Amino acid sequence: MIRLQDIDLNLLVVFQLMYRERKTGVVAEQLGLSQPAVSNALKRLRKMLNDELFERTARGMRPTPFADSIAESISYALSAIQEGLNYNDCFDPGSSDRAFSIAMTDLGEMYLLPRLMAYLTEHAPNISLSTVRDNESALKDDMEMGNVDLAIGLLPQLEAGFYQRRLFDQRYVCLMRQGHPLSEGAFTLEKFSQAKHIVIEARGTGHGRVEKQLAQIGITRIIRLRLTHFMSAPYIVSETDFITTVTEKLALQTQKSLGLVVRTHPVDIHPVQINLFWNRRYHRDAGNIWLRNLIFELFSE
């Protein structure tokens, strides 16, 4: 039996980072250690646990089945220790230099970040943000480990172990250039079907449900372009006779600057609810509380 008093907790920190990063060089850089020091730490842990833990492959270090089996427990234990040690920390946004990470789509970046960064510049000038894509398969693990603080979107994979709070409903419209043949007059379902379309296949986001709904009710379209992200669609629409189905917030933000026309969608598409998510392990973290309350105050509808 392995006793806790026999284990150097620093070795578990090395294990947690290696499990996430899979490269000794990256782990060494994050911990401020040399690569030989990281390798030595792993060697000590292998001997103590009687398992190789990680096997070298062409793509980095691959965890063994045993490493997979203990990773979640170690992550939970280290997070609980860190949260307990910092429970009484007060968070002062005016002086803090904390770096937060938020998972969101490119559309989320366009809609949320200008206003959010303007607020931070004035009220929390030393705080920095980084964003990650919310459709990454590692999002759940990264939030459990504390690598990602918050996530914004329609994220059904974040259920057990996560809190969520509604921000707003995302409605859908049709976007086209000024002077487009469909920019005036009756915009019927027949005309919608006969138009040339840009389809946005933003997998892992609420927009996937929109495309699924259109397919289920048997709507056919002439598809000339498929995109993986939202951001280029308004620019392409402004230079062509294509139309596209996008969120109302994106349409309204680009309408004036690009000379676009926003039309009510001929299909009654169900709105998508956009929520704010955080992991239960950081529910009482003072900085996390401050940031999620700020986002709610700025963007809830």
pLDDT in tens, 78-110: 877 776 666 556 788 999 999 999 998 888 888
Task: Please report whether residue 228 resides in a domain.
Answer: yes
Q: Are 291 and 142 contained in the same domain?
A: yes
- Tally of structural domains, the chain: 3
- Could you tell me if 146 and 277 lie in one domain? yes
165 with 283, same domain?
Answer: yes
pLDDT reading at 23 higher than 60: yes
Task: Tell me the per-residue pLDDT of 137-188, one tens digit each, with 9 for 90 and over.
Answer: 588 888 888 889 999 988 877 777 788 999 998 899 999 999 999 999 999 9
Q: Give mean pLDDT, residues 260-268.
A: 93
- The reply to whether 19 and 43 lie within a common domain is yes
Residue 267 pLDDT exceeds 70: yes
Q: Within the chain, where are the H helices?
A: 9-21, 24-31, 35-49, 65-85, 106-123, 139-145, 189-194, 207-216, 233-238, 248-258, 286-299
In a domain, 93, yes or no: no
Alpha carbon distance, N-terminus to C-terminus of the chain: 54
In a domain, 94, yes or no: no
- Using CA atoms, how far apart are residues 155 and 277, in angstroms rounded to an integer? 8
Dist. CA 194–CA 234, nearest whole Å: 20
Residue 149: what pLDDT? 94
Q: Summarize pLDDT for 102-140 with one digit per residue, the tens.
A: 998 888 888 899 999 999 999 999 999 999 875 555 888
Is there a single domain that holds both residue 164 and residue 279? yes
Residues 213, 201 share a domain: yes
How many residues in total does the chain contain?
A: 301
Q: How far apart are CA 260 and CA 122, in angstroms?
A: 32
The model's pTM is 0.66
What pLDDT is stored for residue 83 in this prediction? 66
Domain holding 193, by residue range, is 172-270
Same domain for 240 and 164, yes or no, is: no
Within a domain: 241: yes
Which residue in the block uniquely carries the two structure tokens 């955080």? 278
Which pLDDT tens digit goes with each residue over 26-65?
888 888 888 899 999 999 999 989 999 999 887 778 899 9
| pLDDT tens profile 212-239 | 788 888 888 899 999 888 889 999 999 9
